[in-house]
Amino acid sequence: MYLQIRHQTEYRYSGVCTESHNEVRVQPFDNEFQRLLEFKLQTSPAVRIYHHQEIGGTVHHFSIRAWHERLVIEASATVETLAFNPFSRVNLVNLDYDFYKTEFVKQNYAEFLVPSLYVPHLPEAYALAAPFLNPSKPAAVGLLDLNRHFHEWLSYDTDATHVQSTLPEVLEKRAGVCQDFAHLMLAACRSHGIPARYVSGYLYIGKDSSMRGEQATHAWIECLMPDGKWVGFDPTNNLLVNNHYVKIHWGLDYGDVSPTKGVYIGPKTESLSIHVGIKEIVPSEVSAPQFTPTS
Amino acid sequence: MQNESLSLFDAYDRGGFFDEMLTEDGPRPHYQKLYQNLSAMSHHEFRARTELADLTLMNQGITFTVYGDEEGTEKPFPVDLVPRIIPASEWAHLERGLGQRVRALNLFLHDVYHEAKILSDGPIPRELVVNAPNFRRNFIGANVPGDIYIHICGSDLIRDADGTYRVLEDNCRTPSGVSYMLENRLILTRVFPGLFRENSVRPIDDYPSVLLNNLRSFAPPGREEPNVVLLTPGVYNSAYFEHAFLAQQMGIELVEGRDLFVDDNMVFVKTTRGPQRVDVIYRRIDDDFLDPLVFRPESALGVPGIVNAYRSGNVVLANGIGTGVADDKAIYPFVPDMIRYYLGEEPILEQVPTYLGWRESDLQYMKDHAKELVFKATNESGGYGMLIGPQASPTEISDYLNQVMADPRNYIAQPLIALSRSPCFVEDRFEGRHIDLRPFILCGKDSVTIMPGGLTRVALRKGSYVVNSSQGGGSKDTWVLGESRNVMQQTMGSMTQRMEGGC
Amino acid sequence: MLSRHADCAFWIGRYIERAEATARMIDVHYHFGLESPLVGRALTWEAILAISGQKKKFNQRYQEINERNILHFFAFDQNNSNSILNCVRLARENGRAIRDQISSEMWESLNRYYLDYRRWNVDRVISESPFAFFQSVKNGSHLFQGITNRTLMMGETRDFHDAGRFLERADQTARILDVKYHDLLPRFTSEVSIPAPTDPAVVDPFSVGGTVDTHGWTAVLKSVGAFEAFRKTYRQGVTPARVAEFLILNPQFPASVRHSIGRVEGCVRRVSGNRDLSPSNPAERAVGRLYNDLNYLRADEIIASGLHEFLETVEKRCAEIGFAIGATYLKY
């Protein structure tokens, strides 16, 4: 499937901003599940953009020292996602849960088992997952059940939480957005010794209006499976990640992957608007591979 | 006058410790001449020299800032005038051991931020490294010039009851104290000029020029006249004096975060002649405060964008980012393994046996033997977060153990080492006080330079083992003797006695 | 040099001058109030508030305009950013920040100035001696400036310090003149020209040339330390026009606006090294433009077109000069 993505972020300030420094994490991966055919990032005011690879993906960064009252960051990407059956990638038969008890996992995936900035250790998250995560079932089955359970247990509500909401608040309200679903499931997995990480990306919904996640960037998690592969679970939509998902960045939690992050000198931000548009295109509409920027 | 008063060494009690100067049979050979000089001095005379030294300190503003004081009170850093002497052969051993150690630490940092072979091959538990609070995961894959992360290292050495030198910890982030090393020397040359002529003390005054040359050598390619600056958190920092002193000695600009800015992925300093590009930054600000864009967003001390400029190779930071994982106290016990792994050599210097809260068997031992152990938080420094079991009350111990149990990874414990002592002037005579040694190690692109000497810190409070300046410590000049001269030149000694006030 | 260091030097110059100007202003009016039974105290305290442009700020936090409150507000109020206390404190803080750029005598003098000042409070000033208090502030500023003259290398640090000091002085002189003009000539509007010196035998003490008037203008001169110099220059006596001419245009008097602005121009020209007639940056343009006006204007032209308007323009242009120096060298 060929997807064309346009992702625009606009900050408006209540006065003149004299200096601004930003990091942007919006470039989709180019890997075995998705091919990045085209990527372009530009800003207004226009400025030279640099980039580097960090462990969880590509980071673009730039500094603006021209006075401005408005900053627009616009990314456009064309991605080919490869069709695959997500269930064929996981073991639904053999009892393999003991894998998580090994010293191998404890050492080699140590960072994915401990609390992180947005994902504290919460006994409540452990308790919620306990009926699902245990050696009586194959790990993938338990995780799929948990995925469905959180999908039902939490209600999707864009007003219940905000970017800085903590996990205890989410548990108390039993409501949140994709970020909260992902953090809760991370907490549950980690407390049970299953290495898990946070993923940011896009979800192409098409005409199916029952799914959530297209208005902005989406978030889901990846769990380490007993065969050593990372597999994506999306508790917001109760789905195993498939070719409708475009992966941008991974990290321990939201703090590692936020699509835009900046510091500036100026008055307070008056408004922040984010627009993400994804459409499916036919191969003939794809232009030659082109990566920008260069530095 | 002199004959009437008692010798400063009368009633000197070694107290069962290893004494740097004195044995049962009198002074050690390398202290012979100093001992003769000091023995011939009355306490009036010694006090007069101490007063002269104090005056010099105050006049030169050699101070450190005490935290928690509203206006940032500055106090002079007390200097004890009896120097600590290290003979050439001992120093050669230390020099080889420290050089070996810092090479291994730099290789370790390069490895953990790249392939992390040492973690997959086994000598160090991966978990301890990747979950260390100062491990910067986002810098995996980032390169630094010459693969050098630690440009300036201050390793703390102690001597135990047998006089064996042991490394107590390494300081790989922003080690301080070198200005006191240089100033102590300056003071002693003023107060006891004669002693230097007799003892062939190796000079240390080229520290600033070695450091500056090293820093310049790391400048980004194509920068012919590299601009090097020293970045300080500002006047209220406890080590501000040192920052100002070093900048002045190196002839470089002392800047604060607000003097710098990033444009087009390069760092500039704001001057009255317009922005000037900066190539190398000797930074005395911790990682966390360096860049609000990447680390703590609320930090106003740093420079937004500087970390990405560093990562792109457009500016060099000394020390590099992420070195804190190398001096994490929970990693410390594995340094000998690093040396074997990277260099294929046996460690030259001993360490102190260490129990890790992280390891369950060690944790049990720590609980059972708390009264015999010294506990430390793994990422504190300056003598904070410590518990000295043998000197603590049962309540203090149980309170502390509760903290340990809440976060075992964050604590280590070591047996209490009977630190060596050195004579110090107390009131009107000499008494033994515990000391340690912080040598300063400079890494260039292909060379390691260790200043012959270092900062000998003294626990001035009687019986205290804590030498940190923030905890009532003082310091001594540290003399490393040259190899060439015979240390037993009797004639010089007797001359000094006749010269009396002139030495 | 680092912009921040230049900024600190500039503000040390300004704060030390401002501390002195504030002390002088209160001192002279204090005594003027005490000596002049004809004028109610309130009038002079009001005038002081007007000079400082801080009447509103004062009224927000004090119930009554009286001696104690005025003294507290101008000398000791930590919330008044222009109080002498804050000026001395900030001068010292700036000095600490550039301790290694200035002479140690300068730092010691700033430190001593501050520590000595901290021993004063309103009660002590009132019960002991206001005169001694104001004298100690003036001495503190003078000592520092003298030490600076004697020990600070000729160079950028000094030029920025002096630029701050003389810019502040020009501004303060203009303000004092402006407010006194208002205060003492309530009957004139700017359209009416100032009459020639009148016969001293005028009956109404409040009229121009009357007792109160002469007394008031003498106070203005005293407050900028100009009384004796004025006397030597004008033997004929104190008139508003002469006072204005002396304080604005006299090239020899060190606190005149013209002299002060001339010094500022010298400083910014030395910093840039620009010897051309035309300015090389906004700072030079702003200061050069004002200096030229002061060089070529005549006193009667100023008065004919309205002294108040003129002084207001001077104050505004001083602010512009400060901003231009900042934007060119200090904060970009």
Checking if the pLDDT of A182 tops 60, the result is: yes
Contact check, Cβ <8 Å, B141/A53 = yes
Cβ–Cβ gap B127/A110 under 8 Å: yes
Tokens of C240: 């508003």
**Interval A50-68: pLDDT, tens:** 999 999 999 999 999 999 9
Contact between chains at A54 and B297 (C-beta distance less than 8 A)? no
Q: Which residues of B touch C99 (CB under 8 A)?
A: 235, 244
Contact with chain A for residue B298, Cβ under 8 A? no
* CB–CB contact A114 B131 (8 Å): yes
Cα separation values, C15 from A175, B42, B185, B258, Å = 57, 52, 40, 22
Q: Which of A203-207, B391-395, B415-419, C30-34 has the lowest mean pLDDT?
A: C30-34
Half-sphere exposure of residue B356: CA atoms within 13 angstroms, side-chain side: 14
Any A CB within 8 A of B386 CB: no
pLDDT tens digits, A93-120: 999 999 999 999 999 999 999 999 999 9
Tell whether the model's pLDDT for residue A157 goes beyond 60: yes
Q: What is the pLDDT of residue C200?
A: 42
Q: Do A21 and B311 touch (CB under 8 A)?
A: no
Residues A102 and C322: their CA atoms lie apart, in Å, by: 69
Q: Give Cα separations from C27 to C24, C46, C228, C240 (angstroms).
A: 5, 14, 17, 21
User: CB atoms < 10 A from the CB of C247, how many?
Assistant: 24
Q: Check whether C139 has a pLDDT greater than 70.
A: yes
Q: Is B393 on the interface with C (CB under 8 A)?
A: no
Asked if C1 and B271 come within 8 Å (Cβ–Cβ), the reply is: yes
CATH 2.60.40.2250 in chain A is located at 2-81+257-291
CB contact under 8 A, B262 and A53: no
Q: Indicate the pairing of strand A269-281 with strand B26-27.
A: unpaired
Q: What share of chain C is helix, strand, coil (3-state, %, to 5)?
A: 70, 0, 30
Residues of B (191-250) whose Cβ lies below 8 Å from C: 234-235, 244, 247-248
Nearest residue of B to residue C105, measured between CA atoms = B59
Identify which has the larger pLDDT, C96 or B82. B82
Give the whole-angstrom CA distance, residue C221 versus residue B219: 60
- For residue B272, the chain C residues in CB contact (below 8 A) are 1-3, 6, 156, 160, 271, 329-330
- DSSP state letters, A82-118: PP--GGGGS-SSS--GGGGGSHHHHHHTGGGTS-BTT
pLDDT in tens, chain B (503 residues): 444 556 899 889 999 999 999 999 999 999 999 999 999 999 999 999 998 888 877 776 666 655 544 444 566 678 999 999 999 999 999 999 999 999 999 999 999 999 999 999 988 999 999 999 999 999 999 999 999 999 999 999 999 999 999 999 999 999 999 999 999 999 999 888 888 988 899 999 999 999 999 999 999 999 989 999 999 998 888 888 899 999 989 999 999 999 999 999 999 999 999 999 999 999 999 999 999 999 998 888 999 999 999 999 999 999 999 999 999 999 999 999 999 999 999 999 999 999 999 999 999 999 999 999 999 999 877 667 899 999 999 999 999 999 999 999 999 999 999 999 999 999 889 999 999 999 999 999 989 999 999 999 999 888 888 887 667 789 999 999 997 544 443 333 333 333 333 33
Q: In what order do the strands lie in the sheet with A19-24?
A: A50-54, A57-64, A19-24, A260-265
Q: Would you call A23 and B294 a contact, using CB atoms and an 8 Å cutoff?
A: yes
Query: Residue A45: CB partners within 8 Å, gap ≥ 6?
Result: A64, A66, A68, A71
B261 reaches A (C-beta below 8 A): yes
Task: Identify the residue among C1, C3, C78, C110 best suited for mutation to test binding to B, counting B beta carbons within 10 A and taking the highest.
Answer: C3
3-class secondary structure, B92:
helix
CA distance B306 to chain A (A): 10
What pLDDT is attached to residue B487? 42
Interchain contact, C100 vs B259, CB within 8 Å: no
B272 to C160: CB separation less than 8 angstroms, yes or no: yes
Contact B235 C97 (CB under 8 A): yes
Q: Which of B253, B255, B272 sits opposite C271 (nearest CB)?
A: B272
CB contact under 8 Å between C2 and B244, yes or no, is no
* DSSP type of residue B17: S
Residues 126-145 of chain B whose Cβ lies under 8 A from any Cβ of chain A: 126-127, 130-131, 137-142
Out of A205-214, B87-96, C79-88, which region has the weakest mean confidence (pLDDT)? A205-214
Interface of chain C against chain B, CB under 8 Å? 1-4, 6, 96-97, 99-100, 156, 160, 271, 329-332
Interface residue B69 vs chain A (CB under 8 A): no
In contact, B159 and A138? CB cutoff 8 Å: no
* Amino acid in position C289: R
Q: What is the DSSP string of A215-263?
A: SS-EEEEEEE-TTS-EEEEETTTTEE--TTEEEEEEESSHHHH-SEEEE
- Check pLDDT > 80 for residue C38: no
Query: Mutate which of B270, B273, B301 to disrupt the C interface (most C C-beta within 10 Å)?
Result: B270
Question: Could you tell me if B256 lies within 8 Å of chain C, comparing CB atoms?
Answer: yes
d(CA C14, CA C166): 8
Query: Quick one: closest CA in B to A63, which residue?
Result: B263
Backbone angles phi, psi at C302, to 5 degrees: -60, -45
pTM of the full structure = 0.86
Residue of B nearest to C329 (CA): B272
In the stretch 433-492 of chain B, residues with CB closer than 8 A to chain A read none
Position C199 scores a pLDDT of 44
Is-contact C13 C168, C-beta < 8 A? yes
C3, C99, C100 ranked by CB distance to B272: nearest: C3
Mutate to test the interface with B, among A17, A18, A21 (most CBs of B within 10 A): A21
**Which residue of B124, B136, B138, B299 to mutate against A (max A Cβ within 10 Å)?**
B138
Q: How many CB atoms lie within 10 A of CB B256?
A: 20
pLDDT tens readout for residues C144-168: 999 999 999 999 999 999 999 999 9
Enter the tokens of residue A104: 């191998």
Beta-carbon count within 10 A of A180 CB: 29
Q: How many CA atoms lie within 13 A of B69 on its CB side?
A: 13
d(CA B443, nearest CA chain C) in Å:
29
Class for the domain spanning A2-81+257-291: mainly beta
Q: What is the pLDDT of residues A237-288, one digit of tens each?
A: 999 999 999 999 999 999 999 999 999 999 988 899 999 999 999 888 776 5
Any chain C CB within 8 A of the CB of B337?
no
**Which of C96, C97, C156 lies closest to B272 in CB terms?**
C156
Inter-chain residue contact C329 with B272, CB threshold 8 Å: yes
C64 sits in which H/E element: none
Closest C-alpha among B155, B177, B178 to residue B167? B155
Residue C329: its chain B contacts at CB < 8 A?
272
* CATH classification for the domain delimited by A86-242, as one of 3.10.450.50, 3.30.1490.20, 3.20.20.120, 3.10.620.30: 3.10.620.30
* Dist. CA A190–CA A209, nearest whole Å: 32
DSSP reduced 3-state for B441: strand
Q: Does B264 touch chain A (CB under 8 A)?
A: yes
Do A63 and B292 lie within an 8 Å CB cutoff?
Answer: no
Domain boundary assignment for chain C: 1-152, 153-332
pLDDT score of C311: 93
Question: Are residues B270 and C97, on separate chains, in Cβ contact within 8 Å?
Answer: no
CA distance B385 to B375: 8
Q: Share the mean pLDDT of chain C.
A: 86
Domain with CATH 3.10.620.30 in chain A: 86-242
Six-digit token string for A28: 């989709």
Radius of gyration (Cα) for chain B, nearest Å? 23
Question: Cβ of A52 under 8 Å from any chain B Cβ?
Answer: yes
Please judge whether C2 and B258 are an interchain contact, meaning their C-beta atoms are less than 8 angstroms apart. Answer: no
The beta-carbon neighbor of B259 closest among C4, C96, C99 is C4
Contacts of A107 in chain B (CB under 8 A): 119, 125-127
Nearest to B196 by CA among B447, B8, B453, B444: B453
8-state DSSP, A192: T
Q: How far is CA B401 from CA B355, B359, B380, B389, in A?
A: 14, 15, 17, 11
Does C100 contact B272 at a Cβ distance shorter than 8 Å?
A: no
For A160-185, what is the mean pLDDT?
91
Q: What is the reported pLDDT for B74?
A: 60
Residues of chain B found within 8 Å of residue C330, distances taken between Cβ atoms? 272
Angle at A82 between CA A76 and CA A84, to 5 degrees: 140
Copy the structure tokens of residue B16. Answer: 């069962």
